[in-house]
Amino acid sequence: MKQWECGVCGYIHKGEEPPDTCPVCGADKSAFTLINGEDDLQEEEIFQETEETDKKVSGLKAKVDQAILDHHLHPISVHIPNGVIPAAVFFLICGSVFGNESLITAAYYNISLVFIFMPVVLYTGYVEWINRYKKAMTGIFKAKIASAGTVAFLSCLLALWKSFSPDASGGFYIILHILMLAAAGIAGHIGGKFVFKN
Ligand SMILES: [Fe+2]
């Protein structure tokens, strides 16, 4: 059976024809190239190795970026927001329902941690997008960028809000937390599609 590789995300499709759109990244049919056999694969591997070697010798930033790619630091770092935000929302809702100030404060500390860590998440994601996905701008990448931007913006807004106004709580404050949770969920779901390819 023929194998087709998506030039954007690397998804492999098996069949006589490439799919109309990539099920992982949404790239057009034209992004797919036929992988004929072992020879082609070997050639591609050698090409990728040469490309990686070139990158390795071009300065500190390139070394940092290469380490980010080699050690999968984006999927690792996203565990901070994706793990901490649900806990924060849980603390905030429980604190609000039961009138427990300590829980509301715990949510604030958690959101502050997310805010502090978001630059790492955004930068590692940017490096992956540039290097692994060649700045592709299909719908799924737009959704990922928008949802990550929403998490960064809301964590900043909510951390600052509570810092300047310690009494902050209530309906709108909670709704913004839930929106941030939803955005983190969307970003995580899309990221999962890229990592696991189906
Ligand atoms: Fe793809």
pLDDT tens digits for range 39-65: 455 555 545 555 555 555 568 888 898
Ligand 1 centre from 23 Cα, in Å? Answer: 7
Ligand 1 centre from 123 Cα, in Å? Answer: 22
pLDDT at residue number 10: 86
Ligand 1 centre from 138 Cα, in Å? Answer: 9
At 105-123, the pLDDT tens digits run: 999 999 999 999 999 999 9
Ligand 1 centre from 15 Cα, in Å? Answer: 15
Ligand 1 centre from 45 Cα, in Å? Answer: 19
**CB under 8 Å to 25, separation ≥6 — which residues?**
6, 8, 9, 11, 133, 136, 138, 140, 141, 194
Ligand 1 centre from 196 Cα, in Å? Answer: 12
Closest CA to 110 of 148, 68, 81, 79: 81
pLDDT at residue number 44: 55
Ligand 1 centre from 117 Cα, in Å? Answer: 29
Exposed e or buried b for every residue in 29-40, given b needs 16+ CB within 10 A? eebbeebeeeee
Task: Name the pTM for this structure.
Answer: 0.78
Ligand 1 centre from 6 Cα, in Å? Answer: 5
- Does 69 score more than 80 pLDDT? yes
Q: Environment class of residue 57 by beta-carbon count within 10 Å: exposed (0-12), middle (13-18) or buried (19+)? A: exposed
Which pLDDT band holds residue 93 (cuts at 50, 70, 90)?
very high
Ligand 1 centre from 51 Cα, in Å? Answer: 21
Helical axes 79-98 vs 139-164, angle rounded to 10°: 50
pLDDT at residue number 136: 86
101 vs 169, residue with greater confidence: 101
Ligand 1 centre from 194 Cα, in Å? Answer: 8
